[in-house]
Structure 1
């Protein structure tokens, strides 16, 4: 009996100008591949919204100024990572490709049913 790798959902937010760069990075790390006969790759869902933040005194913001509230058009991206190693590699690639010093992301382990 073959072992089944755990599945994880990677969710992150990124300014729209860096959307394609970050997607390319996570896909190169193995994210967005669905197992099965269809052999789908580079699969994700992205939705646009407005993010906000106020950089603190010690921040070095990519966008905005220290102490000032900033609003930015961002994309929320969701994709599948099959296997913990793929999830870890995708997060590492995301952190390198993302322009923010503090990358907003979450990783969820998906339950089998």
Structure 2
């Protein structure tokens, strides 16, 4: 089992989570669509050669975003990451992947 975490603007929160759920992520036992999210602020500066969804090249951008966490079976993690990248509005979405151990 893996835990996936990613950061997304509110405008794309629901559609990005749904894409991951459709790929099979967010299932725990007899439950699906399981996720946790909280609001926070992210920041970035688009560099030369970027094509930012938000902000302008060379300018620091601070945005309201959500951090989302959900689990994913080993066999589905690559498909889930591809779904995240396709649904996410950012050119290069920030995400984390952690291997979970069953105890």
What TM-score, normalized by structure 2, do the two folds share?
0.97
| Gaps in structure 2 of 5+ consecutive residues | none
Give structure 1 stretches of 5+ with no counterpart: 1-6
Paired with 1:14 and 1:85, the residues of 2 have a C-alpha distance of 24
1:16 match: 10
Give 3-state SS (helix, strand or coil) of 1:17's partner: helix
Aligned-partner Cα distance in 1 for 2:91–2:75: 23
Please list every run of at least 4 consecutive aligned residues from structure 1 whose deviation after the TM superposition is greater than 2 angstroms.
none
> How far did residue 85 of structure 1 move?
2.3
The Cα shift of 1:74 comes to 0.3
Match of 2:52 among 61, 84, 103: 61
State the shift of 1:112 in Å.
2.2
* Counterpart in the other structure of 2:41: 50
Name the residue aligned to 1:78: 69
Partner residue in 2 for 1:99 = 89
Partner residue, 1:4: none
Shift in Å, 1:111? 1.5
User: Deviation digits for residues 35-65 of structure 1, max 9, x if unmatched?
Assistant: 2xxx110000000000000000111000000
What's the Cα RMSD here? 0.7
